[in-house]
Every structure is written in structure tokens, then in C-alpha cells.
Amino acid sequence: QSVLTQPPSVSGAPGQRVTISCTGSSSNIGAGYDVHWYKQLPGTAPKLLIYNNNNRPSGVPDRFSGSKSGTSASLAITGLQAEDEADYYCQSYDSSLSGPVVFGGGTKLTVL
């Protein structure tokens, strides 16, 4: 049971827009801690996709965007492409007994 809750799967057709939610609580996202997002292709290490809620590292297309409000955060992907099919994880920090760094359970994005 992950501290941050993500939908197990989302899907969309090429060109469409999809969002992935990440729901936390008052001890993590709601406490004001930053949220980061990672993309993981099968058999490879995760890669930073969004940092500090809504910032893209160099090289990440602007089709990817992040937002945060209250105890939740979201990752939005517009203009869906086949290479976007992957697992996506959110990550934040926590001040409770859960531990200082927490991940979401991951969301499998399928491009139809």
C-alpha cells in the first residue's frame, strides 16, 4: 500500500490528452512538499520527468506538465504518442512515520 495513491492504469489514443493523479495527505503533498514525476520504460531505470511540481528537466517535451493543489498532484500529457506508453510514478516527501521519501504505486499508461 503506497502512501501516495495513483490510478493503476490510464489509456488514450494518439493525439489525445491524459492525466494521471497522485493523491496524498496532510503529511506529504498537503504539507507543501514538492512532487516529482518519473517515467519508466520496461526493463529500464526510472527517469525524472517533472520536478518541483511543474518543472521540466532539459530535454523533456512541453507536452508533459505537472500541477499540484491541496493534497493532490497531477501529470498531464498532451498530444499522446506511442513512445509515451510507460509506467509513471509520483514522489514526494512525508513528515509522518511513513518515511521521509514516498512514492506512488505507479500508473501504467497505454497508448491505444
The residue ranges that bind another protein (CB under 8 A) are 2, 34, 36-38, 44-48, 50-52, 57, 89, 91, 97-106
Compute the least distance from the CB of residue 59 to another protein, in Å.
11
In the complex, the smallest distance separating the C-beta of residue 109 from another protein, rounded to whole angstroms, is 15
Strands 47-50 and 36-40: antiparallel
Residue with cell 504539507: 31
Give min distance, CB of 16 to another protein, in A: 25
CA angle 50, 69, 18 (to 5 degrees): 55
